Structure 1
């Protein structure tokens, strides 16, 4: 995480540069628009309107349009950023909570490639946006809901691949903090596990109406590349970090005694003193702690064991057996199962395959799937995969058979339906993340972006009724 200020002012200074690019402009246009709407800026909604077009243009220019196919703007207000974002040539979704502002934006920006939605962004359903491809998350985030917005739009299952956000400067310093600094803490690490954070620019209060009492700052967030760190259970990571920072001045060996009984050995693995405190460990060291606390010492997905599969003929009759490696290298016919797990709302659980998988890494797939082991039948394999991949038990109902072909990887596939609402226990070496999606969203997504999915899943989806 680096600090960078194109305005020439270090992040630790009290005020941004007052160069030409940040010259204040009259607030008349903002005041007039608010008067027309009979809108009095709400502190509860965090309504501080940016009125400097140069700053707005500069913020929009930070979006790398070559890496995304859509922009999601949160809290557009009067549209200070919105038109500049649309000028990037990408479709813009603007999410505005205030009904008067949303109506004004929709009226002014019709036929401009801008979709305006009146909604509370902290509750906005991002799932339909996956069908539009990777997104840039942009916004002047209201101070009071910054953290909920960050976790919703930058969470485990989000289409966002980059973020350009303006937040309270104090929060920006925490998000971009380095180890052994006062700002470094649990929030820093919660975001840093998935995102690289850069402090770009300090924004002074005078560029807003009403004038806030604190400085703001612009951050750039870039999703970390797959495989940068070893797989780690996200829930356990957050729990261990939270415990470690619960008392900043206390030594970790005391705070994490319940998590890491053999602290001396782990401290040696980390290359740190036994008396180390939470703020002294970097992201990689915290990931190591979380993995050790969960007993994760070997990544099965990276080094698959010697599995044996039954070989079958064109009629799915067993003719012999071979190892996993032999089957895949020689493209031999074998058997597999796929499970579609639905919750009570009829939504399908999709898993995103770990980047360490040897086949189809990093794409979305069926709720659970796997090979049928030698000597095992389809039904038994389906129940086993449900336990191993989701940590769940349930009735597996066979619903379809798919013949072996190049599209299935020469697998005869049996598709099963399961009713289960979670929560699930996802093995991090196998599954990066997952979530329930409405079937309409899944079908549109698969139609628009088939490369986002494993081929076997697409075959299963094509035969699934409805």
Structure 2
């Protein structure tokens, strides 16, 4: 039932305490119960593993989420609201985190697996919350957000629509976005001056786009949309080869503008600037490995394809990059990998080339996968071959690194630094998220 007679910034009551919406925090409390219930249903919370609601405010949607997922977390920054939410929902098994949703540590969430986020986001920081929670790598598997209508239209806009722009392209390369419903100002207290809308976001299948340099892509998109009426040739750097060659490869005229390119065309434009003009090949099944016996002695050579198909014993190295805080860098394996695609793995890992030593392989893999030049590593563990290592005799090496990591997209789409405690909790609860060899290496490392 819709609340009536709401005056401007009328105080609300939680547990007997008056709470006034704060203009400084962009608070507009949702007070239409029918809409609140409908929005809560859109995240499909029933028996979901982990649902997070940033900015629950007075709990308009929260009351329709309680008791439905296996775990419900509320994140509230407001000093007045947070303790009241604890009093009201804590006894019902709901966790309340008094924190800023733009800064909360998402790494804690990976161990929950299916993470779903739902929220009526403040207009003032909605974009920042969106960016923080949905920029890969992220544990979030689906999201339902209420934001200003114009923002939602831009997020969901398709090629050819008036709202289609740089934000559409940057978001849709990672997410499928669906605009679900327009919400009128009357559903809130105080009433905003504009309509709101609901969007649902689900991860885009990474296999639908070729590999590309994410940072270069973002730079080019922002440059291209900086002045929408100008032709791209007047906004972007000189194209390798020629501008005519680039536009022909995209099937576009030389006069093309930013808003005329689809997400895929923008990715291919970025690939042209990287001088990637051949199809993604992935790993070569014809690559030659040493085959070894039960004593890790070389007995011959076979192709990658033969080694994996026949379960032959071979050699591999894993490397943990550790920074000065003691965090370990984990990588997400590319969808092009022939074994454990899109699984989390060590900082770098790979098979030894024919005649190559473990130490040399460690240095090479770190350079090839995460773009770091190192001169040496520390041997941490030697692991026998078996099902737990995918038939590999593995050496685990440690390397120290405090600077940036530049993932090579064919090998690693992205990665993240995690504390050992976070990794242990994640591995313990969800070993299926990781490549087999990593789980074995990690258990040996923390033993």
Task: Please tell me whether residue 229 in structure 1 is matched to residue 209 in structure 2.
Answer: yes
Task: Please tell me whether residue 173 in structure 1 is matched to residue 161 in structure 2.
Answer: no
Q: In the aligned structure 2, how far is the partner of 1:403 from the partner of 1:185?
A: 53
Equivalent residue, structure 2, for 1:154: 134
Q: In the aligned structure 1, how far is the partner of 2:229 from the partner of 2:393?
A: 58
SS at match of 1:121: coil
Report if the CA contact (8 A) 1:67-1:134 is conserved: no
**Deviation, structure 1 residue 26:** 5.3
Q: In the aligned structure 2, how far is the partner of 1:417 from the partner of 1:60?
A: 46
SS at match of 2:246: helix
Report if the CA contact (8 A) 2:15-2:84 is conserved: no
Equivalent residue, structure 2, for 1:453: 434
Alignment partner of 2:275 out of 289, 295, 298: 295
Provide the TM-score with structure 1 as the length reference: 0.91
Task: Please tell me whether residue 420 in structure 1 is matched to residue 413 in structure 2.
Answer: no
Distance 1:33 1:222, change over 3 A: same
SS at match of 1:102: helix
Within 5 Å, give how 1:316-331 maps onto structure 2: 316-331=296-311
Task: Please tell me whether residue 253 in structure 1 is matched to residue 233 in structure 2.
Answer: yes
Report if the CA contact (8 A) 1:24-1:206 is conserved: no
Q: In the aligned structure 2, how far is the partner of 1:105 from the partner of 1:90?
A: 19
Equivalent residue, structure 1, for 2:345: 365
Alignment partner of 1:113 out of 90, 93, 113: 93
Q: In the aligned structure 1, how far is the partner of 2:284 from the partner of 2:60?
A: 52
Task: Please tell me whether residue 462 in structure 1 is matched to residue 443 in structure 2.
Answer: yes
Equivalent residue, structure 2, for 1:350: 330
Q: Alpha-carbon deviations, 1:254-285, whole Å to 9, x = none?
A: 22233555221221222111111000111111
Q: In the aligned structure 2, how far is the partner of 1:101 from the partner of 1:30?
A: 15
Q: Flag structure 2 segments of 5+ consecutive residues without an equivalent.
A: none
SS at match of 1:200: strand
- Name whichever of 299-308 and 276-285 sits farther off: 299-308
Q: In the aligned structure 2, how far is the partner of 1:88 from the partner of 1:228?
A: 33
Equivalent residue, structure 2, for 1:273: 253
Q: Flag structure 1 segments of 5+ consecutive residues without an equivalent.
A: 1-21
**Deviation, structure 1 residue 249:** 1.0
Task: Give the CA RMSD over aligned residues.
Answer: 2.0
Matched residue count: 445
Q: In the aligned structure 2, how far is the partner of 1:282 from the partner of 1:299?
A: 19
Provide the TM-score with structure 2 as the length reference: 0.95
- Name whichever of 417-426 and 376-385 sits farther off: 417-426
**Deviation, structure 1 residue 373:** 0.3
SS at match of 1:163: strand
Q: In the aligned structure 1, how far is the partner of 2:222 from the partner of 2:159?
A: 15
Task: Please tell me whether residue 407 in structure 1 is matched to residue 388 in structure 2.
Answer: yes
**Deviation, structure 1 residue 184:** 1.6
**Deviation, structure 1 residue 314:** 1.3
- Name whichever of 200-209 and 179-188 sits farther off: 179-188
Q: In the aligned structure 2, how far is the partner of 1:183 from the partner of 1:326?
A: 51
Report if the CA contact (8 A) 1:48-1:209 is conserved: yes
